[in-house]
Amino acid sequence: MSLFNFKNKGKMSVSAVSKGDVNPQKISVSKTENIKVLGSGCAKCQSLEKATIEALNDLGQEPTVEHVTDFAQIASYGVLSTPALVIDNKVVSYGKVLKKDEVIDLIKKARP
């Protein structure tokens, strides 16, 4: 069935929205969901994760950081040396442990 005589070409119909199947409001995603520390879980990786959590606290953001330890996932970012910091799916640092102030600067640059 077509609505207003338009053919359905794989697009969502108005009826799906009106039935409540889809939320028509703008979906917001927390910025902190996209912050990751890449590394094996060694002391350096844990230090970077701690500094990142402290930086997020100082910025007033929820301190949620995903720690990726799977080497296949780490390699998918093109990172060869860890620890690495990923903000919004972009590698912003790798191969060194950052201090809290350095992480704050990187978050501010990545999210103007």
HSE-CB for 97 with a 13 A CA cutoff: 11
Instruction: Tell me the pLDDT band of 62, cut-offs 50, 70 and 90.
Output: confident
Residue 33 has a pLDDT of: 53
The gap from C-alpha 80 to its chain's centroid, in whole angstroms, comes to 20
Secondary structure (3-state) at 85: strand
The answer to whether residue 102 scores a pLDDT higher than 60 is yes
Write out pLDDT tens, residues 9-52. Answer: 444 334 344 444 444 333 333 444 589 999 999 999 999 999 99
Residue 105 has a pLDDT of: 96
Are 98 and 51 in contact by the 8 Å Cβ rule? The answer is: yes
Instruction: Region of 103 please: left (phi>0), alpha (psi -120 to 50) or beta.
Output: alpha
Q: In sequence order, what DSSP letters do the residues of 36-73 get, joined into one string?
A: EEESSS-HHHHHHHHHHHHHHHHTTS----EEE--HHH
Are 87 and 93 in contact by the 8 Å Cβ rule? The answer is: no
Secondary structure (3-state) at 84: strand
Domains of the chain listed by start with CATH number:
32-110 (3.40.30.10)
Residue 82 has a pLDDT of: 94
Which residue numbers are catalytic? 42, 45
pTM for the whole structure: 0.69
Write out pLDDT tens, residues 66-92. Answer: 999 999 999 999 998 999 999 999 999
